[in-house]
Amino acid sequence: MKKYINILSSIALFSTLTACEDIVDISVEAGDQQLVVESFINTNFEEQTVKLTYSKPFFSTDDFEVEANASVFITELETGRKLEFTDEDQDGLYTWTPATEADTLVTRLRPEGELIDRGNDYENQYQLEIDLPNGWSFESFTSIERVPKIDSIQFVTREINVANPIEQIVASFWAKDLVGVGDTYWIKAYKNGVYLNKPDEAVFAYDAAFSNFSPDQNNSTDGNTFIVPIRESINPDGSIDPEEDESEEPIPNYEVGDSVYVEIHSITETTFEYMNQALSQMENGGLFARPVENVFSNIRPKNEASQGKVVGIFCGSTISGLGRKIDTTPPIEED
């Protein structure tokens, strides 16, 4: 499951080649080490995290080195509230927990239909600051955007494979993009509490579709119900990556008795682009695939010594969610 657990770590760290069955130690000159920042904050009344690790050479089989001695703060720029994130366990995971629900982070106010950059505070609502003992210093900015509610989750029984038809339960969620071009989302699904996190199951939406296909921002999917492929992206792909451990069991399709939980996470457009680029890198697999590229980062150096020393992403989210259990065999899907 290592490939699926964390998209960001898999990219930032130039993961080892997996096409060969035998482990081979290869001696190559190591490149410059970079700090890897992973932080997705949200408005929930729960622990918020900033994860700091270091990149490693392409062929290295060592564990990721963590940064446990940094100074980490997130500032709410509108109010000036400064939140200290601490690494109590010395494992590179810096945390802050709101004391009460009134202390949670907030969604940026954007009335329905208004342009996303209203007031010039889009991606400029929260500031992340990281200072390391070696003099490296970084900052990043994000906003926490609005998210639509999920209206329902529905199930049908679909005949798969015309030549030799079999019946399969297919789930879909129903939700409508909010009016106003430029909303971007990360769709997440859970089967019986297990997150569906294979690369093929990672889905990012721009308004109600997969991308902003209209350069003049007159996006025909703005304010519409999410398109069918996005609504049905909450189904397990039912396969296993051939590059992974052969003992790994694929997550099967839905059956009666299973539970489905769906979340929509608002993300910034920068994060939308970052995650799609990272996903493309993960799907490069194979010895002769296109070489791994550096995925861009919204983490910025604050001094000369920090130039070129960081990768990663900082993003805020508002989250909506809905769950449903498959109590009985769903009706056959009509043509």
For the entire predicted model, the pTM comes to 0.85
pLDDT of residue 200: 87
Expressed in angstroms, the distance from the first to the final Cα of the chain is: 37
What integer best gives the mean pLDDT of the chain? Answer: 84
Query: DSSP assignment, residue 55?
Result: -
| 212's tokens | 């902003």
User: Which single residue is written with the structure tokens 């694929």?
Assistant: 250
Contact 137, 301 (CB under 8 A): yes
At 302, is the pLDDT very low, low, confident or very high (cuts 50, 70, 90)? very high
| 206's tokens | 């721009």
Distance CA 138, CA 237 (A): 39
Length of the chain measured in residues: 335
- Could you tell me which of 96, 47, 91 has the C-alpha nearest to residue 69? 91
pLDDT of residue 141: 97
3-state SS, residue 230: helix
37 beta partners: 52, 312
Q: Does the pLDDT of residue 107 top 90, yes or no? A: yes
At 101, is the pLDDT very low, low, confident or very high (cuts 50, 70, 90)? very high
At 134-175, the pLDDT tens digits run 999 999 999 999 999 999 999 999 987 767 778 899 999 999
- What is the maximal distance between C-alpha atoms in the chain? 65
Q: Could you count the other beta carbons within 10 Å of the beta carbon of residue 279?
A: 18
